[in-house]
Amino acid sequence: MVKQAIHWLLRLRNNSTNSRLRQQCDVWRAEHHEHELAWQRVQSLQAELSSNLRAVPGAQVAFNTLENSAQGLGRRQALKLLSGALLIGSAAWLSKDAGWQQWTADFATATGERRGFQLPDGTRLELNTASAVDLDYNAQQRLIKLTRGEIIVTCGGIDEGSSFDRPLRVQSRHGVYEDVGARFILRQESDCTRLSVTAGRVVIHSPLAADGMPTQVQAGQSYLVDRHQARLATPLNRDVGAWVDGLIVTRNMRLGDFLNEVGRYRHGYLTCSTDIVDLRLSGVFRLENTDTLLAILPQTLPVQLRYRTRWWVTLERQAWIIFGGLRGQVRLSHQ
């Protein structure tokens, strides 16, 4: 549907005076709500590309070259060229924003958003940034499917009117976990899922342990689960559940890892130069405004912020200058 929306956009762009073509596009948009969603997303992406990417050094030349090349080609070749560029951008942008999950999942959050939900059986769900879950409750089971991101599950009871107990299970891309009166955190990455139990007990039903039995995970333990095994995880240098209170709590954490964590709560590109990636920091940082959070770092570390655009931020080592043999520190700030 994204491809179709791009096709309509480019056809209208090349035939702006064709009222019949615009009516046909309107009919396509009205056929299904996901058609309209795709159209709005691609329109937004085009505006964002035009206004923001031009601010990146060299992007203006590349953008103009793309435009001029498309105008010099036949209509079919121009569509291929421009739709290829837009489709690549659409894939990255939609993936980052988790937009489709927000429309199709039972519960979902956008980038930077955190929300809690109470299920009918009393189970409490907390969704971290850019997360999505689906529910599959039937006569045999209560199943929560984590399709993206990170959740905290606090076990509830059995809904009234049930003639028998139905287990509460949570499924990630890499395993199935049964709640035994527990509170636990699941964070799904591309290659594995991290399970951290803060209260009660969780049973990992798949993958099975080496002895062919489910793995029992007690409060205070964390496991890394991939499609082949579940193994005990080493403790992290941050509080894995602090995000539910809108916090990042670190203990001697690498700056590079810290920025990766902060980057989950904001749009755009956030990184640091290689010479400061191993700097360490500890503290409590609030997530309400990540720009304010980043502005604190030069007060505790020898770093400076460099904004190319609002969505492109790089941390670099602070500059030093020499005045007649005296070394002075130069702090750069972004207003």
- For residue 68, what pLDDT is reported? 56
Quick one: residue 102, left, alpha or beta (phi over 0 = left, psi -120 to 50 = alpha)? alpha
Separation CA 179–CA 235 (nearest Å): 22
Does the pLDDT value for residue 74 go beyond 60? no
Q: Is the pLDDT of residue 208 over 50?
A: yes
User: What confidence tier does 50 reach under pLDDT thresholds 50, 70, 90?
Assistant: low
Would you say residue 158 has pLDDT above 80? no
Per-residue pLDDT at 319 exceeds 50 = yes
Mean pLDDT value across the chain: 82
Is 104-232 a domain of CATH 1.25.40.10? no
pLDDT tens-digit readout, 77-89:
555 555 555 555 5
Tell me what the mean pLDDT of segment 202-209 comes to: 94
State which H helix or E strand residue 197 sits in.
Answer: strand 193-206
161-188 as b/e, with b when 16 or more CB fall inside 10 Å? eeeeebebbbbbbbbbbbbbebbbbbbb
Model confidence at 320, pLDDT cuts 50, 70, 90, reads: low
* Structure confidence by residue, pLDDT tens digits, 167-185: 899 999 999 999 988 999 9
Over residues 257-275, the mean pLDDT reads 95
More confident residue, 71 or 189: 189
Q: What pLDDT does 334 receive? A: 38
- End-to-end CA gap in the chain: 41
Across 206-230, average pLDDT: 94
Give 40 or 236, the one with higher predicted confidence. Answer: 236
What pLDDT score was predicted for residue 19? 87
pLDDT confidence of residue 332: 40
May I ask the CATH class of domain 242-330? Answer: alpha beta
**Residue, of 61 and 131, whose pLDDT is higher:** 131
The CATH 2.60.120.1440 domain(s) of the chain lie at 104-232
**What stretch(es) of the chain map to CATH 3.55.50.30?**
242-330
20-29, 80-89, 154-163 — which one is most confidently predicted on average?
20-29
Q: Which of 151, 153, 145 is nearest to 202 (CA)?
A: 153
